[in-house]
Amino acid sequence: MGLDCFWKNSEGQTAKVDREFDVCGGMLSDHGTTSFRGKVYNDLVEQASEISLYQETIDNATCLKISNCLDNFDFDKYNGAWWPLDRKEFEEFKEMFRIHSQLGHSLYGWW
């Protein structure tokens, strides 16, 4: 089952940052500017934070928690069960999560 995650602002509108990230997009999601392919990163997020991206909504407070967990995660311990990530993509994903979270954005999942 696929998962696309969409960043939304506090009014529930599409949240966009003026930065491109080298993260995986999907058929309906882009590469981190407004959305990303959540299925690719769910294992990483669960290992770092014990929180699944497979939720209809992840509020900003939880996004900030995930961001902090990613910042403190030892990437050398990552066990990519579904999708192999390299350190560069991990750093891009962390940065995307940090920027969106600090701007007050939340995540909405679609699968």
Contacts by 73-80, CB closer than 8 A, 24 or more apart: 73/44, 73/47, 73/48, 77/47, 78/44, 78/47, 79/43, 79/47, 80/43, 80/44
Asked if 78 and 9 touch (Cβ cutoff 8 Å), the reply is: no
Task: Please provide the DSSP assignment of 62-83 as one string.
Answer: HHHHHHHHHHH--GGG---SSS
Q: pLDDT digits over 18-39, tens only?
A: 998 999 997 778 899 999 999 9
DSSP 14: B
pTM of the model as a whole: 0.94
Q: pLDDT digits over 33-72, tens only?
A: 999 999 999 999 999 999 999 999 999 999 999 999 999 9
Q: pLDDT digits over 79-97, tens only?
A: 877 788 999 999 999 999 9
